[in-house]
Structure formats: structure tokens, C-alpha cells
Amino acid sequence: MAKYIIKRVILAVVTVFVVATITFFLMNLVPGGPFITEKSISVQAQEALKEKFGLDKPLIVQYKNYMLSILQGDFGLSLRQRGRTVSDIIGSRFPISARLGGISMVVAVVIGVPLGSVAALNRGKWGDKVITVIATCGAAFPSFVICTVGMYIFGVHLGWLPTMGLTAPANYILPVFALSFYPMAYITRLMRSSMLDVIGQDYMRTARAKGLSQANRLFRQALRNAILPVITYVGPMLAYLLAGTFVVEKIFVIPGLGGQFVSSILNRDYTVIMGTTIFLATLVIVINALVDIAYKFIDPRVQLK
Amino acid sequence: MKKIFALLLALVMALTLFACGTNNGSATPSASASDGSAAPATGAKQLVAQIGPDPETIDPALNTSIDGGSYILYAFDCLLNVDKDNKIVAGSAEKWEPSADGLKWTFHLRSGLKWSDGSALTAKDFVYSWKRVADPKTAAPYAQTVLGMVKGFDEASAGDVDKLAVTAPDDNTLVVELAHPCAYFDKLAAFQVLSPVNQATIEKNGDAWATKPETYICNGPFYIKEWVPSSYILYAKNPNYWNASAVKLDTMKMLLIEDPNAAYVAYQTGETMMIKSVPAAEIPALKDKPDFHLDPLEATYYICLNDTLPQFSDTRVRQALSLAIDRNYVAETLMQGTYSAATSFVGPGISDWDGSDFINNGNGGKPYIDNSDFQANLAKAKQLLTDAGYPDGKGFPAITYSINDQGYHKIVAQYIQQAWKELGLTVNVDVVEWASFLPQRRAGDYEVSRNGWVLDYNDPSNLLEILMTGNGNNDAKYSSTQYDELMNKAAAEADPKTRSGYLHQAEDVLMADMGTIPLAFQNEFSLQNDKITGSWHSPSGLWYFQFADIAG
């Protein structure tokens, strides 16, 4: 196990390094720059800015300096939001995205797994049909449609729910609903098909022949096997949700990381682009590693190599 | 059933633990700012408004955006101010006078001025602040614009800041010596970039001083109590402001919303009393409502022809392209009346030397572009193109019209495509992402491009000078010796009336050449609840809420 983890860590560092390098050069290839603004600023001011942030040096030197400074844990200053460090920006925005994304994921799992199981156990009956319809809708509606429709009905028309910010618990309802609907629907469908697969297995029949109670059979034998595909899915989905989602953040005015990431790209705020990319790449890698390790605990057949 | 619950619970806990774990690492103000939206104490007056997204900076020396200008305006008091009628009035300075030759400006500060932290504010603070703007280490984008005419600016911007001829003979007097006359220097003294900033907090906190409420020391009607990036800025009344008795509000909450639809929902649900970002699609339905406001903005929407290209070098071609556009249709129909048809390059609201509108005094009182009879204009355009050697557009190369996809740019581009087709010309529209669009247009790497300019301060020169040869914003690459000469004469002239004459002549030259094609004058539209009284919108795009009140 320890050997496995060391291996994963080394691999992760290499991956992040490659991601950072590619991003650095791609970003500099794109036309435009952080100091080219709508009203042109004087040549002296542009030079002064470039010098201040080290952008006057050749690209390869900038790359070397950047890599050396991130090794020391310094992600530098934002080029556009003067006076703010990249760590400050990520540090203040990620918790907001993470909390919203985390809650949405929990909601999706808590609703999706039982719904999928119920549908499988009632295959072909009306319960199954209702759930299948909901799951299909969830997979088909994009989140911005759910956002706007939810916002219009519950926020504007009925006035029951707040529509902007995340200041009170009620503020979470609409964005969480919008964010969790798709993963919830997907998990329901996954769970339904894998549950159907599992309950048709020989060992389930054996368990029944051995006289085990139905509850024991379902929860101890079936669920544990049936939930495996869900776990595979939850990893990347969680990374996606925690990173912040641009559309939902924009519609509900949530100061999360997703919106910041997109605007840093549009503004060519190089240091923020780099910092956020490295941070998100690390996040995805860590979550995937955790999912792999979680597999080992749930399914003893899995070998970690 | 218990077991399924246990299993799910375990999963849920694992996930929440993960989510919480990431939270604890870097607790931030934004995570704990939940009380920000709570209603203020009973009886306290709070104004809630939305005038833009999260500002990149609210450091007066570094800001370039208009919404940033408003945020600075609430917190800082310049030497002079602009009143409701767009006239210059006293600010931190109660009296001011230029010398007879226009080369020396003396400002007399009020006595007993204070910073928001209670410490004394003197003329020396202005000296420090202005030198900071000129300092290359500050890299202030507008340094050249606001201080370029001050004696010693060139040395100062090369690093020797003490050469800048701004001095404080005593605590209440600020003397500025200019290298050449500047008739509008009083307007610059009221421009946000030249706000006084507090030396102590800047030396202690560096650039970060303007990112945290506790280090953002100011001297204006309000100070910043909270700033949750991309969420809101909460201002509270500054008791140390010299004119605090004129401030009726207790707090102002500026919502930092980027998306117009989100802003509109916030307005509909009553979460804000005013929004600047109104979705364009809602305008037809809102236009006749009493809370929909249309205010003039000192801004011109224009079309740049790349004058370095041979096909656009003939004045007749440029005139023809201009005459073939039905500006009334563009402004009234395409832009839903939120713009007005342009008749000149310098738009309404910009003051001439005697305070009258510059636009009314141009071209002997007649509009440069007559939009009243479009069919006649079109016939003239066809004739001009024939005279230039392109009858029915024959032989004219296909035109690429570059835009970024925002606001009305796309619909206007589609219209231009049709309009110039009438002349027999082919137009292809090229949509470019904003940050790539800017350098491309600036480098002259385009054929025809949409363009626009919002004036920084209320003087026609701010708009006219961008078309001088070599100006960093001369995207059209327009170059006329006659125009440059007139503009240089105007810049060196101390007498406001003579200077104004030069500026009018320069505009005559520009419009005769059709160096760039003015299309429409911008207006700013907003929704504002009538409960807000005593606020106004300045033609430079600033929202004056600091002296407003909330009725009932």
C-alpha cells in the first residue's frame, strides 16, 4: 500500500509538471496580454508593468522563474487584480465552490443511489417508470435551464427562495438543485443497471437458497457490489463540482473559483491561470487516487499496483 | 433498512469530510461574511445598487474602469468635484486659480481635513499621491493622461519623481506648475486617478492596501466596511469627511454582479434598488416604465477604417461608406433607442469653453452628418464611389469587418453587411475574442473594425487626440498633418476660446476626411427604484449615489 501511494505521488508530480508546462506555453501563444486594455496605456507604463512582473524577460527565463517560485510554494501576484496574490484568490474562492459542489455531490448520491435501487427492484412497475422518466430528464436538461427555470418559478414568481449569493442556508437550495440534478440522474441510471446486473448473479441466488433475509441480501450482498460503478463516476464528478461551475456561479452570483478561472483566461491574467490550473490538476489527481484507494476497501478483489 | 442507511451515511460523511477539509485550510473573509446581507439596524438607511462586476482594482492610481471610478468616487474626495450639472465645484480644495499664463495652478485646501482613520490630511498628501501616480514603479495606466502636462513629468516618469513640479508651500496650499497650458486642468483635478491616497497605509501594505477594507484609508463621503470579491462592497458613512452632514445614507451596498440576467432578477426580487446591467432583450418591455432611465454618456460608437490600406485611402470612398449607413435605423431600431444617431465625432454632453455643448458649436451650428434624408445620402454615396473609380462597387476588394461579440456589435455588423451591399460591396464579418481583438485592432491588423471611446474627462480633446498621428489609441491609423497641427496648437493654447476654435477646426478636418466613421452616441440605461432620491448619473459614466437619500 505504501509503495502504491509513493508511486501515485511521483506520477502525480510528473503529471502536474507536464500540465503546468503545456499551459504556460499555450497561454503565452494566445494573442493579447494582461496589460493590453481597451484604452491603450502609455508605452512607459506598459514597460514599467512588464518590468514589475518580470514579463520583460524572454519566455524561457519567465518559465524557469515561475517554476522555481512555485517549487517554493509561491504562486505570485495576480497581474490584473493588483495587490492580490494568486494564493489569496484561490484560497478565498475555492472554499465557496467546494462547499457548494460537495453538498451537491452528497445530495446527488443520497438521492440517486436509493432511487436507482428502488427502480431496479421494481423493474417494469410504475415506480421504475417514474424514476426512469426523472432520470432521463435530469440527464437531458442542461444546468442553466434548470437554474433559470428554478430561479423564475421559486425566486421571481413565487418569491420563496433567494436567487443570489450564498449568504444563508436557503440560498443554497436553488444552486444545489441545479448542480446536483444531472449527477443525481446519472447515478440513478448507473445504480439501476448495475443493481439489475447484480441481483441476477448466481451468488444472489445462493444467498437466497441459504435462507438469508431479504434485507441482508440486498444491503450486504447486492448494494456493495452494485455501488462500484457509482464510485468510479463519483470521483471525476466530485472534482468537477468542487472546482466550481462557471454557469451556475454566474447565474446565482456565487463568488466561486469557476467564474474566476474563466475571467482570468479572458483577461490573460497569466499567474492566476497558472495557479488555478495547477491547483485544479492536483485536485483531480488527488480525488482519482482516493477513489482508487476507496475501491480497494469496498472490493477486496481489486489489486492496487 | 438500517444498513443501507449506515452505508450511505458513511459515504456522505466521507464526502462531507473531504469538502470540509478543504474549507478549513484557508478560512477567508468571504466564507464568514454571511452577515453582510443582513438588514441594517432599524432606522439605518441603506442603498443597494449594482453598477458592474467585481472591480479589478480600486486603487485610484491603478483603476481604468468606469465602475471602478464610481467605487473610488464614494471613498475619496479629490481637490475638485463635478456637480449634478457637470460643472466643476470645490472638493477638498475650497478655492483654486490658474495663473494668467495658465502655467501655474494653485489650490487652497480646506482646513481640518481628515483621513477616514482620523489622521490629518494636508497638501503634502496630495504631493505624495500625485508623485505616486507619476512614479514608474506604480505603473499607473493613466499617468500620462492626467499628469503629462505637469512640469517635470518626463523626468518623474523615468524614475526621478521629485522632479514633478507639484509642491506644498504650506499644509493648505498645493501648487502645480505646468510645462504647457492645460485649459481643463480643473477637470483633471476632479478625476479619480488624482485622488489623495494615504502614504502610511501604502508604505505599510504595498499594492495590497487597496484590497482590504481595514487598510483602505480614504477621505471621501464613505469608507469601505466589507468587500467580498465578486459579491458586494459595503460602504459606511465616513464621519471624518469634511462634508459629512451632506451624506444622508448610513450605508451603501454595491452588488458586484456581472451577468445582466442575474442583475435583472436581483432587481425584480427587490434585492437591489438599482441595476446598471439591464439585459438588452428586456429593453422593449421596460422602455416605457417609469423606473427605466436613459442617461447620456460621453461616448461615441464608431467604425474604424484601416486608413493604411490602399482601398480606404480615398476620402470619397470613406465618405461613401459613411453615407451608406442609415444611422437613425441603427440607433432607434437596432440599438432599441439606447443610442442616438451620430452627427459628428464629438458627442453631446461634452462642454465647450463657455460651458455650452461642444457639439452645438461645431460646423457652424449644423450637424456634420445629416441623417434626415437617408435615400439622398445613399444616392450621394453611390455617386462618390463611382467618382472614386468603383461604379456599383466593381473592383473594390471584399471587406472584412472585425468585431468582438458583445452588446450590439453583431447586429450592427450584420446591418453594415447589408448597407454596404447596397453600394455593391461584399462585407465579411469576423468575430474575434475580446482579448485577441484588442491587440489586433491596435496593431492595425484589420480592415474595418468597430470601435468606441468613453471620455475620461469632460473635454473634447480627450476624444479628438486619439486620432493624432502616433497616438496609442489611433486604431484607424488616421494621419493628417493639418489635423495634428491644429491639435498641437490647441494643446499649447492658454486662452480657452482660441483653443476651442482650434479643436472645432480639427473636427472639421476629421469629418471632411471621414478619418473614422462615427455611428452612434451612447446612452446608458438603467433601472432605478424611485425610492432613491438625489442621485445622478454623470455623462462620464459615474453614478453619484454618495449624496442620495432613500424616501419613505
Q: Which of residues 119-178 of A touch B (CB under 8 A)?
A: 148, 151, 155-156, 159, 162-165, 167-168
Residue type, B256: L
Q: Verify whether the Cβ–Cβ distance B27 to A95 is below 8 Å.
A: yes
Residue B212's pLDDT band, with cuts at 50, 70 and 90, is: very high
Residue A152's pLDDT band, with cuts at 50, 70 and 90, is: confident
Q: How far is CA A185 from CA A127, A235, B340, in A?
A: 15, 16, 50
Range of the domain at A114: 97-267+281-298
Question: Residue B36 pLDDT > 60, yes or no?
Answer: no
Residue B34's pLDDT band, with cuts at 50, 70 and 90, is: very low
Shortest alpha-carbon distance between residue A34 and chain B (Å): 9
Residue A123's pLDDT band, with cuts at 50, 70 and 90, is: confident
Task: Determine the pLDDT at residue B311.
Answer: 94
Residues A180, A160: Cα–Cα separation, whole Å: 20
> Domain for residue A241, yes or no?
yes
Burial class (CB in 10 A: 0-12, 13-18, 19+), A249: buried
Average pLDDT over residues B419-435: 94
Of A96, A109, A238, the CB nearest to B12: A109
Residues A104, A112: Cα–Cα separation, whole Å: 12
Question: Residue B31 pLDDT > 60, yes or no?
Answer: no
Q: How many CB pairs under 8 A join A and B?
A: 207
**C-alpha cell belonging to residue B168:** 506644498
Q: Verify whether the Cβ–Cβ distance B15 to A92 is below 8 Å.
A: no
Task: Determine the pLDDT at residue A231.
Answer: 86
| Number of residues in chain A | 305
Average pLDDT over residues B90-114: 95
Task: Determine the pLDDT at residue B150.
Answer: 96
pLDDT digits (tens, 9 = 90+) for B329-373: 999 999 988 999 999 999 998 999 988 899 999 988 899 999 999
pLDDT digits (tens, 9 = 90+) for A41-77: 777 788 888 888 889 999 999 999 999 999 998 999 9
**C-alpha cell belonging to residue B171:** 499644509
Residue B42's pLDDT band, with cuts at 50, 70 and 90, is: low
Task: Determine the pLDDT at residue B18.
Answer: 40
Number of H-type helices and E-type strands within chain A: 14, 0
DSSP B292-328: EEEEEEEEEEEEEE-TTSGGG-SHHHHHHHHHT--HH
Task: Determine the pLDDT at residue B38.
Answer: 41
Q: How far is CA B126 from CA A42, A221, B163, B166, in A?
A: 23, 77, 15, 9
Could you tell me whether strands B448-454 and B88-90 are parallel, antiparallel, or unpaired per DSSP bridges? Answer: unpaired
Residue A27's pLDDT band, with cuts at 50, 70 and 90, is: very high
Q: Which residues does chain A have within 8 Å of residue B63's beta carbon, measured at their own beta carbons?
A: none
CB B81 within 8 A of CB B89: yes
Q: Which residues does chain A have within 8 Å of residue B409's beta carbon, measured at their own beta carbons?
A: none
Residue at grid coordinates 443554497? A172
Radius of gyration of chain B (CA): 26
Task: Determine the pLDDT at residue B21.
Answer: 35
Task: Determine the pLDDT at residue B17.
Answer: 38
pLDDT digits (tens, 9 = 90+) for A254-287: 999 998 999 999 889 999 999 999 999 999 999 8
Task: Determine the pLDDT at residue B40.
Answer: 46
Helical axes A86-121 vs B2-25, angle rounded to 10°: 170
Helix (H, G, I), strand (E, B) or coil at A55: coil
Q: Which residues does chain A have within 8 Å of residue B257's beta carbon, measured at their own beta carbons?
A: 164, 253
Q: Verify whether the Cβ–Cβ distance B141 to A45 is below 8 Å.
A: yes
Residue A230's nearest CA partner among A110, A122, A118 is A110
Q: How many domains does chain A have?
A: 1
Task: Determine the pLDDT at residue B2.
Answer: 44
> Domain for residue A11, yes or no?
no
Contacts for A158 with CB less than 8 Å, ≥ 6 apart: none
**Chosen from B4, B149, B153 to mutate, greatest number of chain A CBs within 10 A:** B4
Residue A242's pLDDT band, with cuts at 50, 70 and 90, is: confident
Flag whether residue A33 sits within 8 Å of chain B, measured between CB atoms: yes
CB B362 within 8 A of CB B346: yes
Of A52, A88, A95, the CB nearest to B139: A52
Average pLDDT over residues A102-118: 93
Share of chain A above pLDDT 70, in %: 99
Task: Give strand ranges (E) for B374-530.
Answer: 399-403, 427-431, 448-454, 517-528
Task: Determine the pLDDT at residue B32.
Answer: 34
Share of chain B above pLDDT 90, in %: 78
CB A249 within 8 A of CB A166: no
Q: Verify whether the Cβ–Cβ distance A31 to B440 is below 8 Å.
A: yes
Residue type, A4: Y
Residue B425's nearest CA partner among B391, B459, B468, B463 is B391
Task: Determine the pLDDT at residue B377.
Answer: 96
Other CB atoms within 10 A of residue A185 CB: 25
> Domain for residue A134, yes or no?
yes
> Domain for residue A19, yes or no?
no
Residue type, A89: I
Radius of gyration of chain A (CA): 24
Residue of B nearest to A215 (CA): B1
Q: Enumerate domains of chain B plus CATH numbers.
A: 55-228+533-550 (3.90.76.10), 296-524 (3.10.105.10)
Task: Determine the pLDDT at residue A162.
Answer: 86
Q: What does pLDDT average to over chain B?
A: 90
Q: Which residues does chain B have within 8 Å of residue A83's beta carbon, measured at their own beta carbons?
A: 57, 59, 206-211
Structure-model confidence comparison of residues A293 and B118, the more confident one:
B118
> Domain for residue A25, yes or no?
no
Residue at grid coordinates 450486504? A220
Task: Determine the pLDDT at residue A271.
Answer: 94
**Chosen from B18, B72, B138, B255 to mutate, greatest number of chain A CBs within 10 A:** B18
Of A81, A91, A238, the CB nearest to B26: A91
Distance of CA B8 to the CA centre of its chain: 55
Residue B4's pLDDT band, with cuts at 50, 70 and 90, is: very low
Q: Verify whether the Cβ–Cβ distance B140 to A223 is below 8 Å.
A: no
**Chosen from B135, B438, B445, B471 to mutate, greatest number of chain A CBs within 10 A:** B438
> Domain for residue A285, yes or no?
yes
Average pLDDT over residues B18-37: 36
Average pLDDT over residues B147-173: 94
Structure-model confidence comparison of residues A234 and B194, the more confident one:
B194
Average pLDDT over residues B515-529: 94
Q: How far is CA B372 from CA B49, B326, B376, B381, in A?
A: 39, 9, 9, 15
Flag whether residue A81 sits within 8 Å of chain B, measured between CB atoms: yes
Of B16, B22, B436, the CB nearest to A106: B16
> Domain for residue A80, yes or no?
no
Q: Which of residues 39-78 of A touch B (CB under 8 A)?
A: 39-45, 47-49, 52, 77
CATH number for the domain spanning A224: value is 1.10.3720.10
**Chosen from B11, B58, B404, B433 to mutate, greatest number of chain A CBs within 10 A:** B11
Helix (H, G, I), strand (E, B) or coil at B303: strand
Which residues are registered as beta bridge partners of B234? B226, B253
Q: Which residues does chain B have within 8 Å of residue A111's beta carbon, measured at their own beta carbons?
A: none
Shortest alpha-carbon distance between residue B37 and chain A (Å): 7
> Domain for residue A210, yes or no?
yes
CB B353 within 8 A of CB B494: no
Task: Determine the pLDDT at residue A220.
Answer: 76
Task: Determine the pLDDT at residue A164.
Answer: 85
Residue B455's nearest CA partner among B258, B187, B275 is B187
Residue A192's pLDDT band, with cuts at 50, 70 and 90, is: very high
B3: phi then psi, degrees, rounded to nearest 5: -70, -40
